[in-house]
Amino acid sequence: MSTLKRKAATQAAGADAKKPKQNSSIMSFFGPPKVTPSAASSSSSTAATTTGANAGPEPAAPKFDKVKWVASLTPEQRELLQLEITTLHHSWLALLKDEITTKEFLDLKRFLNRETAAGKKWFPPKEDVYSWSRHTPFNNVKVVIVGQDPYHNHNQAHGLAFSVRPPTPAPPSLKNMYTCLKNDYPSFTPPPNKGGLLTPWAERGVLMLNTCLTVRVHEANSHSNRGWERFTQRVIDLVATKRTRGVVFMAWGTPAAKRVQKVDAKRHLVLKAVHPSPLSASRGYFTCRHFRLANDWLATRYGDDTGPVDWALTEGASIFAKEGEDDEAAEHSDAVSDSSVAKKVLEDAAAAAVDKKPNTSGKTNKKAASVAKSTAAEDDENVAPEEDDVEA
């Protein structure tokens, strides 16, 4: 993560990034540290054990002739699927074309037509039902946040789970997500004017997918069990099976957790927590560290420069900028501290050799050096950002 942090920080400062100093701790004075591999884990997360290097190349995107496929549809299918044909991103349509011609999905479309014919208003607006597919094409997906039902009030839902367009203020669940994110990245600042638009995340590879994609105005869950659940499960399954390099799945709440229970945890990272709703967030959501854990894992799969997601939502801001500045300061402080501690160890060892008798000086010197080395290692461990960051 340090490379990305420095890159963001120095871009903000208008200077070239410096390479991280290797072994900038007291341990470098006594020799290279022992490598002990560890993985981020908690009661709310399942970490993949495969490395990005072993994940293998992604399968080639299927060849899809949209014009030919549309021509193969029956007149009724073409009429029922006009929204999918015109607004579902090409990369997703190529993968979902068989699903949307099933009886179950066509029945769902007939239901929506009946709702409209009966004068029943539903959200999001038709053109936004599949906005998630256009903001996050299939081959860009790195994170999946599983939502539940779309917001059911006016000027809220626009096709991305948890997101709202201005001037609508961020709903309570989204405000709690901001709090969790700020706990992971203190430099994070919520959008101005209490904003809740999450399209920057979507365009950086975060697929925000509701389990049900439509809802009747002011009637929560009014379009549930009509066919959307099967469709969105297919979306999740496609990501899990075809994005072989690895994806982070964030499932908040029991319904979302059920949606990812079949995801291969050796290939992907599955993070679970209570829902960010005010009714449940206090039971562990604020400290689940999912935004940080996701980035740490993505860095191992895609590299420091391209893996982690910049969760910033304010124009021109970056969650990594402040961290990069802190790293520079910490590195300088560590270098000064290491030099001082090393000098003190040598002085103490020399003093012990003078004070003790010849036949015991060797043992005393070794003991003093061992204690000093142990204490220094503990101090270094206590401030190591990487170790603290991966703990939930």
Q: Look at the chain and count its residues.
A: 392
CA distance 262 to 267: 12
Strands, sheet with 248-252, edge to edge from the N-terminal-most edge strand? 45-46, 269-273, 248-252, 143-146, 206-209
- Torsion of the alpha carbons at 184, 209, 163 and 61, rounded to the nearest 10: 90
Taking phi first (over 0 means left), then psi (-120 to 50 degrees means alpha), and beta for anything else, what does residue 260 get?
Answer: alpha
149 is catalytic: yes
CA distance 76 to 392: 52
Cross-strand pairs, 46: 270
Beta-carbon contacts of residue 301 (< 8 Å; ≥ 6 apart): 51, 52, 55, 245, 246, 307
CA distance 98 to 103: 11
- Torsion of the alpha carbons at 250, 253, 258 and 261, rounded to the nearest 10: 40
DSSP symbol at 215: E
Q: Is 316 exposed, middle or buried (0-12, 13-18, 19+ CB in 10 A)?
A: exposed
**Beta pairing class for 45-46 and 269-273:** antiparallel
If one counts every other C-beta atom within 10 angstroms of the C-beta of residue 228, the result is 22
Shortest CA distance to 202 belongs to which of 95, 94, 128, 270? 128
Shortest CA distance to 265 belongs to which of 297, 311, 233? 297
Residue of 65, 107, 149, 326 marked active site? 149
> What residues act catalytically?
149
